Amino acid sequence: MPQQKTILRALAGETLPTPPIWMMRQAGRYLPEYKATRAQAGDFLSLCYNPELAAEVTLQPIRRYGFDAAILFADILLLPQALGADLWFVTGEGPRLSTITDQAGLDKLGPVDEIDAVLSPVYETVKILSRELPADTTLIGFAGAPWTVATYMIAGQGTPDQGPAHALKNENRPVFEALLAKITAGTIHYLSRQIDAGAEVVKIFDSWAGSLEGKDFVRYAIEPAREITAALKAKYPHIPVIAFPRGAGHRYEGLHAAIGADCIALDDGVTPNWAAGHVQIDGCVQGNLASRHMVTGGKDLIRETRKVVQAFSNGPHIFNLGHGITPDADPANVQLMIDTVRGI
């Protein structure tokens, strides 16, 4: 039964003797089986839009490791593409998009109610997964947060400091805020359709939230996440929401209430002990082992994994990394992490 799934129990506020485990980017380039499937698809976007192959790579880490959750294999930039932005991936460099820097660029985007024409293969992937996942494995859907998605749409690619987005925010705030509003509406629609297709939990990834300062952090990271969460909760009150404003630092405190999320995911920029005393007191937390341990392994991995589990042992906790696993990670270290968590 769904209520018996460990992640759903943790998200409901239950403290479990062993925390459930999943891992950001758990389906990815560190796995040889993923590399083989991607080669079969031909390129990254073809993989994202092939429901059978996208479901396959989502299932691969579940078969190999027995994680407690599977997260839909997709990309946060599929939504901008569905809204009308050009999107392509450059091998070895990452995504590229057509840029939006003024009203004319904004006007080229299409209506939110037409995005399903592009995103319907993603919903089909969710349907396949809801049928094929083990009965005790939770299916997580996701989207990028409006600020993070906007940084790519404004710059046309990832940037080290999100400078172009900050510039547009400061120089043409009406266009910037209109773009965020468009992404927010699209995200609500996109996540709603994932839930309709079978997602049991949704996560909002704000990878670049930490670059927002002062009132801008509240206005452009917290408020859009709150709006998305409120809209989803109004329609799907039983679906938990995980929010991940990466880089928030001390601003993680109070975010359960500020966003309305069931769980706050933590990066490794805060210590587990601090987070237990300042964030977990308000509800479930997820995290926050440093991703580098998936590369280096050994005694450090075991020691730091135990520290995370022990720090969060008095409240609801989902074990995860502080950010996504990297391509140079050793698959054997993932198994060591899981064995350590489950052996404590």
CA 253 to chain centre: 20
Q: What is the pLDDT of residues 252-311, one digit of tens each?
A: 999 999 999 999 999 999 999 999 999 999 999 999 999 999 999 999 999 999 999 999
- The percent of residues in the chain predicted with pLDDT above 90, rounded, is 97
The CATH number of the domain covering residues in 2-343 = 3.20.20.210
How far is residue 193 CA from its own chain's centroid?
16
pLDDT at 202 exceeding the cut of 90: yes
* pLDDT in the model for residue 2: 46
What is the share, in percent, of the chain residues with pLDDT greater than 70? 99
Asked if 54 contacts 47 with a C-beta cutoff of 8 angstroms, the reply is yes
The answer to whether 163 touches 174, Cβ cutoff 8 Å, is: no
Cβ atoms of 295 and 328 closer than 8 Å: yes
Give the integer Cα–Cα distance in Å for 244 and 156. Answer: 23
Average pLDDT over residues 196-225: 98
Measured over all CA atoms, what is the biggest interatomic distance in the chain, rounded to whole angstroms? Answer: 57
Annotated catalytic residues are 25, 29, 38, 75, 152
pLDDT at 282: 98
Give the SS3 label for residue 321: strand
Q: What mean pLDDT is predicted for residues 75-101? A: 95
pLDDT tens profile 144-166: 999 999 999 999 999 999 999 99
Which pLDDT does position 127 carry in this prediction?
98
Bridge-partner residues for 70, per DSSP? 139
Query: What is the arithmetic mean of pLDDT over 319-338?
Result: 98
What string of DSSP letters covers 88-148?
EEETTTEEEE----SHHHHHTS--GGGTHHHHHHHHHHHHHHHHHS-TT-EEEEEEE-HHH
pLDDT at 92: 82
pLDDT in tens, 123-147: 999 999 999 999 999 999 999 999 9
Is 0.95 topped by the overall pTM?
yes
For the stretch 30-50, pLDDT in tens is 999 999 999 999 999 999 999
Does residue 3 have a pLDDT over 80? Answer: no
pLDDT of residue 1: 44
Q: What is the DSSP string of 166-203?
A: HHHHHH-HHHHHHHHHHHHHHHHHHHHHHHHHT-SEEE
Are 109 and 163 in contact by the 8 Å Cβ rule? The answer is no
